[in-house]
Amino acid sequence: MDGRLEIPLSLAERLSASGEPLAVSLLGDEEPVQLEAMACTCAKAGASGAHVHNFLSSEILKSLPAGANVSLAVDVDEGLIRIELES
């Protein structure tokens, strides 16, 4: 509910390397989205040493229900990330 959606490092790197402006599509609305990287403060079990979490960040993501399961359809060439809620 903070406007962030965690994504894998591999996706963050692909989106960053595209050089395209990024947008996210959710529930029929589309808005710009930024990539963010944050140093880990979670102390997950088995997480050795310092690491970074990668996120998509946008106001539109605040409309996602907490703990929602989503699927992403990513068009790296267009810079568009479509998010669908899974039931």
Neighbouring C-beta atoms of residue 10, cutoff 10 Å? 9
What are the tens digits of pLDDT across the range 6-35?
999 999 999 999 888 999 999 899 999 999
Average confidence score pLDDT of the chain: 89
Closest alpha carbon to 12 in 36, 44, 40, 38: 36
DSSP letter for 16, please: H
Sequence-ordered list of residues with C-beta below 8 angstroms from that of 61, at least 6 positions apart, any chain: 3, 4, 5, 24, 26, 33, 83
Give pTM, 2 decimals.
0.82
Q: Where along the chain do its domains lie?
A: 4-85
Largest interatomic CA distance in the chain: 40
Using a pLDDT cut of 70, give the percent of the chain over it: 91
